[in-house]
Amino acid sequence: MTAVLDAVLTDEDVVARVRGGETALFEILMRRYNQRVYRAVRAIVRNDAECEDILQQAWLNAYAHLRQFAGDAKFSTWLTRIAINEALARLRKHRGETLEESMNEIESAEPDPERQASVAQIRDVLEDGIASLPDNYRSVIVLREVEGLSTGETAACLSVTEDVVKQRLHRARKMLRDNLYARAGVTFEHVFEFGNARCDRVVANVMQRITTN
């Protein structure tokens, strides 16, 4: 049933119906945006197990504050901002940093034939390269290049100006050396993928929490 509704309902439609008591439809939003939210969190927190925990908490936070969604921005932008805030809060807790400190901490070689054994291996190299970027650059390149958000959407998610997004993206691209991933034959949409089994697990855990509370 949710699959059918997913094809016809907008985000705003789903939000309105969930607010009206159709809690089960919250699953539609989760399945639409689990990949994006995971990538946004993964750009900030490098521990994959903790990323999943933060992802679940971000969804619970979004559900708890769903009535605060005013529609001024896209639901996906509002949601991503919630996830980023949760990830940064977890990061600050570990590091004992302020929000500003958390956000501001932060020669190309021909690919060797032996290093081109498989697309999966090359993808791992690219993911490692992204993971090694400073926090502020990593967040921008994941949201812009991996998730395909616009400059304006990325700026809104990170609470910075569009000029800052452009500057950070330019520097991040330079660090990654564009020709590395171009020659590798791997594009950004392949990195930090959130598989079906993990998606199902997160959906099940969150839906159980919100339907039993």
Q: What is the pLDDT of residue 185?
A: 59
Average pLDDT over residues 108-133: 59
Tokens 């939000």 belong to residue: 15
Chain centre to alpha carbon of residue 181: 20
pTM over 0.75, yes/no: no
Residue 209 has pLDDT above 80, yes or no: yes
Name residue 114's amino acid: E
Name residue 180's amino acid: L
- Contact in structure between 207 and 25 (CB atoms under 8 Å): no
CATH number at residue 161: 1.10.1740.10
Range of the domain at 153: 2-106+110-212
Angle at 124 between CA 135 and CA 43, to 5 degrees: 20
The rounded mean pLDDT for the chain is: 81
Chain centre to alpha carbon of residue 147: 7
Lowest mean pLDDT among 24-38, 53-67, 98-112, 193-207: 98-112
> What's the domain count of the chain?
1
Average pLDDT over residues 179-197: 66
Residue 58 has pLDDT above 90, yes or no: yes
Tokens 């650059």 belong to residue: 137
Residue 184 has pLDDT above 90, yes or no: no
Three-state SS sequence of 63-99: HHCHHHCCCCCCHHHHHHHHHHHHHHHHHHHHHCCCH
CA distance 151 to 160: 10
Give the C-alpha distances (Å, rounded to integers) separating 34 from 86, 93, 104, 192: 15, 24, 26, 12
Q: What is the pLDDT of residue 175?
A: 84
Handedness of CA 131, 136, 37, 183 (dihedral sign): negative
Q: What percent of the chain has pLDDT over 70?
A: 77
